[in-house]
Amino acid sequence: MVEAVCGACCQEKEDSFKAPQRAAMMPDLRAIKADWNFIMKNGDGWRDHLAVALNSIQDSIGRFSPSGKMGISGLLLIVFIAIFAPFVTFYEPSAISGMSLEPPGPEHILGTDELGMDIWSQICYGARMSLLIGLAVAMISGLGGGFLGLMAGYMGGNWDRALLRTIDITMALPSFPLLIVIAAFLNPSILNVMLVLVFLSWAKPARVVRSQALAMKKQQYIISARLHGAGPVYIIRRHIMPEALPLIFVSILNISSYAIVAESGLAFLGLGDPTSKSWGMMLHYATSFRSIYFTPYWQWWLMPPLIALIFLLLCLAFIGRDMERIVDPRLRSRGGQ
Amino acid sequence: MSLLEIRGLFIDYYSDRDAFRAVDDLNLTLERGEVIGLAGESGSGKTTLGLAIMGLLPDNVRSSGSILFQGEDLVAMQDSDKDRIRWRHIAMVFQNSLEVLNPVIRMVDQVSEPMIEHLGLGKEQARARCVRLFEQVGLDSVWLDAYPHQLSGGMRQRALLAMALSCDPDILILDEVTSALDAFTKKEISDLLCRLQKTADCSMILISHDITFLSAVSTRMAVLYAGRIMELGATSEIINYPMHPYTRGLINSTPGIFLYRDLWGIPGEAPSGQVRGCPFFGRCTQRVDLCSRQPPRLLPVRVPASAEGMTVGSSERDVACHLGGVVTLLRASGLNYSYRLSDGKLLDAVKDVSLDLREGEVMAVVGQTGSGKSTLAHMLAGVMGSDVGEIFFDGKKMNGDRYGSGYGGIQIVFQDPASSTSSRLSVLDAVKEPLDINGLHSPRERIELVASALSSVGLPTTDEFLRRHCGELSGGQRQRVAIARALIMRPKLLIADEITASLDVSSAANILRMLKGLQNCRGFAMIYITHDLMIALKASDRIAVMDGGRIIETGNSHYVMLYPRQEATKRLVGARIHKSSGGNCI
Amino acid sequence: MKGRGTKGVAFQYATALFLILVLNFFLPRMMPGDPFLILSADSENEVISVLTEEQRQYFISYYGLDRPIYEQFAGYIFSVARGDLGESIYYKVPVWEAIWTRLPWTALIVLGATLMSTVAGVLLGLYSARHRDGPADKILMAGLISFAEIPSFLLGLVILLAFSVKLKAFPLAGAITPFAHYSHPLDAIWDIGYHASLPMITLSLTQLTGIFLLTRNTLVTVMTRDYIRTARAKGIGERLVWNRHALRNALLPVVTRVGFMIGMLMGGAVLVENVFSYPGVGSLLRSSVIARDYPLIQGIMLVMAFSILTANYLVEIVYERLDPRTSSGEAA
């Protein structure tokens, strides 16, 4: 062992003599070429990132806690019902298929509402509504906001300052009152609701990703990559993206919860799309029914959408919490390493 | 009764998977008014020991043994009882960091808190006392109402000190108080501590990896390694004459003690897991079989008479080493040698020289031309016998034995590169020669050994080079070949007789650095004969000054060079150092 | 939060407020078609608001649709600054008055819930942190986290169904017992508290977990800090270490959280009031939505937005004062 140490002591001098010379003679040419090769080889980069993301998701699922796994199974169940709604129901959701306010029975497994529409059908088709809104809003604002944050954080300068200001102001906006008033004035269509939700929810992922990019930019391996001649494209793809994607993914989960809650809240207030049969709208109709609490109707009219919503949100929350724990071990044991 | 007595203390950190022993069978006493320094690399258990005395070890720790404060055992004590002693009797100045003080509480409240709790002072009284304390540590009282983040690092350290002094503790533990400070503030704090020690009559435990700081403030010093005390004794004496190989390495790694000396770290890493034997085993240059099997106990040793420059036997020294500390490798006494001149007169080249050399030590023998340096070197190497006197090497008396004929002996490298190796021989044959002569190893192994020896001295190992004749080499290369030939015999002592005298400056510097590097990681002892004092000061642990065949002065190279006692030394030093500094046009 | 001066914060909130005013101003003008021609009817409500010609004229003059746009905007800002939010079409009273009669009820449950969740959250968080990884801590963590994920109005419905409909332990609706005569002021307070308790509990349950987790986790982190070790070394006792040194640091983020909580509780109250038919601003908002009472909707939203922004702004200011590290006396 002593020999080896000695060898190292003596070898060091030779190397330290050669290395600066080498560096002086070949100014980063090789590094630039390597960067170029990398980009050429991975020409369709999105596929690469998708693979990275899928891999990390796959890894993560293995590390889910029991509650996280429960969440995933629950979410899959709801997704299944939503996709195969026509096959698991017997009636169109807006078809008057029975008597008004029939209790659950063989004809209508969850009974009927005031207009004689099948409640089970409404639940199944309503799932589509909630999932669609949640997913669409979350994808747009999560990816869009994340992208903005990434760019601003990495580029810095005036763009970053402007974005930070915008984020601050957007986050200061009281979202729910704003949502109500916009929904009240605009056409209560699903599209409008989604646009408003995106407008109100992009700031958080942008902020999270921005600060991540900002922190990473100062990491020494990124600085040295840049000194080796790597361009921003390379650095963002190779170093920053893989770190930022899980954060974006967590944001997407959280935003989809938020969007689902917001939509059903609006619908509950009577600001939903009257043409849609969302779970929120069901709640709205049920609670608007006069003295529903003095009749037994609430048991099959109010309970199903209520339970469905709570179930969906809990599933999302369980997944989200596990994801957060998995992608950021620092959250669990800060200062551990 | 001692003020503080630590007996058989073990501290283990437990994690999910394994345990780590931070303090291992530690015994230490602290008397009233004494300042003891705990030195050691990071992870040696210094801070853990400090926290253990305060009773502040984290939950994942198990400890056994006892820490007796005025007879009360702090280890076995309940938390509520500890609170009675904490700060009132034993206070701690923590390592400075932004978070060591509560960021949301004003300084005055943090400093007076213990006074209110322990001394029962009122708020106003406590504040008045704070003002005095701040004065004492050299802080303006305007900072009383400041928050910690408003203070600079040095000010924070002073405030921490004021806080620790607030209840007039009997023992003050100072944990790395100077490590985060700049040189100037460091000096101020260490002066402040010296002052405090005189006025406040409290005992101190200084924890620091900075031996310079410890040497300035502490009276006694304990060197910790892997949770054990390796050496314990008076601070100045330990620094001047370390007895444990680890202490010596630590001192060599510390800049600022001996300003002109080169910096050499201890090779290897501290042990990471449990070790059965001596924890320093893996890095020790004088280890024996026993060291790997059984941990050494801290026992008193005699500081040998050769520990020049200190009053011998004045204080006790404890060392944890099976060999009783760094062993004496070579002991020569009463050496004499005279040349018979052509006219029949005798010329005393070496007169009554006695010399001790310790394992792994580098001793420079300096002197003017004709002072007898080379003759002494040749006698020690066995090139020539002495007329009178005897030489012990490795505990055995040397009677004309050739200690160079086997491994672990003495090897010498001579001055003149042109004649040190035969011009006729190829490099391979020249280096291989000692192996051939002694019939060591098979021919194939010999070639491998030659290659490794050559690469360790920084020479190529290609076939072409191996076949080259020594005559074709440059002076520097030939000297390297000579060194490789010496090293191939794995000497315990290498005598280098003016090996760079005939080389140009750059190759001389390269060879010297290489040799010192090899010495540092292989740990052989070296006697370095030179007339160049600057080189002696840079490379050697001790210096022996020769004049007229006698050794007129020996000692720690730093002290010999900077504070010479003999006229001849002064002349020599004056001729070198002053001239060179005077000629410096910066 | 750090690194921004008070000015920056003020600018941020001023801009947000301005944005809301602009939105409020332009929204009615962006409505498709002629909004005032809607002959609206909500099938299951008897409130059918068909705009009379008289009301139509009121709208046009209120919104000043006959004047140039910048003049309209200036006029709008001016009247809002004066406190003139227009006149409610349905209630036929000034918007401000309609809101003012309902505001105390909302304030009661929002502030009550803020207080309840903060106090309970901090106490539970402190308890949990002190008994970290013990059985009580684990039960609290698991139990409270589930509450955090259910939005307030769904939780409210569950609570209403359980306690009012099934157990009949609490009233189904209202803020006071109708036509009650109180013989003693305490009776009135009792009655008000009795009616407010379920909405208040619902609201505080949704925020409790946040405060609890924040307190607990901050405390756990704070307890590993060096200054806690310093405090322990001083021998002042574990109680003071927690209450003086740890809690004070852990409460700083809680203060921020409380501010943003008020905003969330306001939003939540709109829905929860409707669940419990509690006569606050939220119920007013729903009836005005159903009645398409646009000036009232806008007025409510403005009042709510203004109070939320003010609350958040105040919290940031208070926080900067509380944390010496961000306070302005730092230039030492």
- Whether residue C270 and residue A180 make contact (CB cut-off 8 A), yes or no, is yes
Helix (H) or strand (E) holding B495: strand B493-497
Q: Which long-range CB contacts under 8 A does C313-318 form with residues at least 24 apart?
A: C313/C9, C313/C10, C313/C13, C314/C259, C315/C255, C315/C256, C315/C258, C315/C259, C315/C260, C315/C262, C316/C1, C316/C9, C316/C256, C316/C259, C317/C6, C317/C9, C318/C255, C318/C259
**Chain A interface disruption, residue of B456, B459, B524, most A CBs within 10 A:** B456
| Residues pairing with B23 in the sheet | B11
Helix (H) or strand (E) holding C134: none
For B398-423, the pLDDT digits (tens) are: 766 667 777 888 888 888 878 878 88
**Sorting pLDDT into bands at 50, 70 and 90, what band is A53?**
low
For C275-313, the pLDDT digits (tens) are: 888 999 988 988 888 787 888 888 888 888 888 888 888
List, in order, residues 6 or more apart from B510 with CB less than 8 Å away: B458, B476
Of residues B283, B281, B270, the one with CA closest to residue B520:
B283
Picking from C12, C151, C271, the nearest residue to A313 by CB comes out as C151
Residues of chain B with C-beta less than 8 angstroms from the C-beta of A2: 267, 521-523
CA B433/CA B484 separation, integer angstroms: 11
Distances C283 to B19, C40, C103, C145, C173 between C-alpha atoms, Å: 63, 20, 11, 29, 11
Average pLDDT over residues C14-23: 86
Question: Å from A19 to nearest chain B CA?
Answer: 17
Of residues B559, B569, B566, the one with CA closest to residue B241:
B559
CA A306/CA A287 separation, integer angstroms: 11
Residue B224 contacts residue B44 (beta carbons within 8 Å): yes
Phi, psi at C216, each rounded to 5°: -60, -50
For B37-56, the pLDDT digits (tens) are: 999 888 788 889 999 999 88
**Sorting pLDDT into bands at 50, 70 and 90, what band is A139?**
very high
- Which CATH architecture group holds B329-574? 3-Layer(aba) Sandwich (3.40)
For C235-278, the pLDDT digits (tens) are: 888 888 988 889 888 888 888 888 778 888 888 888 899 888 89
Average pLDDT over residues B457-468: 88
Average pLDDT over residues C47-62: 64
Residues of chain A with C-beta less than 8 angstroms from the C-beta of B516: none
Interface of C with A in 9-68 (CB under 8 A): 12-13, 15-16, 19-20, 23-24, 27-28, 30-32, 35, 42, 44-45
CA C41/CA C51 separation, integer angstroms: 11
3-state secondary structure at position A76: helix
Q: State yes or no: pLDDT of B306 exceeds 90.
A: no
Distances B139 to B127, B536, C311 between C-alpha atoms, Å: 14, 45, 41
Chain C within 8 Å of A306 (Cβ-Cβ)?
Answer: yes
Picking from C230, C232, C249, the nearest residue to B100 by CB comes out as C230
* Average confidence score pLDDT of chain B: 84
- The answer to whether B4-89+169-320 and B329-574 have equal CATH topology is yes
Residue B47 contacts residue C194 (beta carbons within 8 Å): no
Residue C220 contacts residue C246 (beta carbons within 8 Å): no
Phi, psi at B133, each rounded to 5°: -60, -45
Looking at residue C2, its amino acid is: K
CA C155/CA C150 separation, integer angstroms: 6
Question: Å from A162 to nearest chain C CA?
Answer: 12
Output the pLDDT for position A328: 61
* Average confidence score pLDDT of chain A: 76
This prediction has a pTM of 0.73
Where residue B394 falls (left for φ over 0; alpha for ψ -120 to 50; beta otherwise) is: left
Of residues C29, C282, C244, the one with CA closest to residue C156:
C282
Residue carrying structure tokens 């504070």: B563
Check if CATH label 3.40.50.300 holds for domain B4-89+169-320: yes
Looking at residue B304, its amino acid is: P
Residues of chain C with C-beta less than 8 angstroms from the C-beta of B174: none
- Whether residue C227 and residue B103 make contact (CB cut-off 8 A), yes or no, is yes
Residue B380 contacts residue B332 (beta carbons within 8 Å): yes
**Chain A interface disruption, residue of C23, C106, C153, most A CBs within 10 A:** C153
CA B417/CA A136 separation, integer angstroms: 84
Of residues C304, C200, C23, C206, the one with CA closest to residue A261:
C206
CA C117/CA C104 separation, integer angstroms: 20
Residues of chain A with C-beta less than 8 angstroms from the C-beta of B271: none
Residue B10 CB burial class (10 angstroms; 0-12, 13-18, ≥19): middle
List, in order, residues 6 or more apart from A315 with CB less than 8 Å away: A70, A71, A72, A74, A75, A78
**Sorting pLDDT into bands at 50, 70 and 90, what band is B173?**
very high
| Segment among A3-12, A291-300, C123-132 with least mean pLDDT | A3-12
**Selected residue with higher pLDDT from C226 and C66:** C226
Residue B242 contacts residue B231 (beta carbons within 8 Å): yes
Chain C within 8 Å of A301 (Cβ-Cβ)?
Answer: no
CA A158/CA A169 separation, integer angstroms: 17
Interface of B with C in 352-381 (CB under 8 A): none
CA B515/CA B509 separation, integer angstroms: 10
Work out how many CB contacts closer than 8 A connect B with C: 79
Distances A66 to A69, A78, A322 between C-alpha atoms, Å: 5, 18, 10
Output the pLDDT for position A144: 93
Output the pLDDT for position A15: 38
Looking at residue A211, its amino acid is: S
Percent residues over pLDDT 70 in chain A: 78
Question: Å from A334 to nearest chain C CA?
Answer: 8
Picking from B94, B97, B150, the nearest residue to C330 by CB comes out as B150
List, in order, residues 6 or more apart from B145 with CB less than 8 Å away: B106, B107, B108
| Segment among B100-104, B144-148, B384-388, C64-68 with least mean pLDDT | C64-68
- Whether residue A181 and residue C309 make contact (CB cut-off 8 A), yes or no, is no
First to last CA, chain C: 21
Picking from A9, A13, A14, the nearest residue to B521 by CB comes out as A9
**Which homologous superfamily is C6-331 in?**
MetI-like (1.10.3720.10)
Tokens of B93: 């100045």
CA B53/CA B6 separation, integer angstroms: 9
CA A143/CA A137 separation, integer angstroms: 10
Average pLDDT over residues A269-290: 82
Question: Å from C74 to nearest chain B CA?
Answer: 46
Q: State yes or no: pLDDT of B312 exceeds 60.
A: no
CA A239/CA A227 separation, integer angstroms: 14
Q: State yes or no: pLDDT of B104 exceeds 90.
A: no
Q: Which residue of C has its CA nearest to B160?
A: C230
Residue B412 contacts residue B381 (beta carbons within 8 Å): yes
Helix (H) or strand (E) holding B64: strand B61-69
| Segment among A63-67, A234-238, B5-9, B120-124 with least mean pLDDT | A63-67
Chain C within 8 Å of A140 (Cβ-Cβ)?
Answer: no
Helix (H) or strand (E) holding B27: strand B19-30
First to last CA, chain B: 58
**Chain A interface disruption, residue of B264, B521, B522, most A CBs within 10 A:** B521
For C160-171, the pLDDT digits (tens) are: 888 888 787 788
Picking from A3, A5, A10, the nearest residue to B514 by CB comes out as A10
The residues on C that touch B, with CB distances below 8 Å, are: 225-227, 229-238, 240, 244-245, 248-249, 252, 322-325, 329-330, 332
Domain locations along chain B: 4-89+169-320, 329-574
Residues of chain A with C-beta less than 8 angstroms from the C-beta of B457: 10
CA A34/CA C296 separation, integer angstroms: 64
CA B280/CA B523 separation, integer angstroms: 14
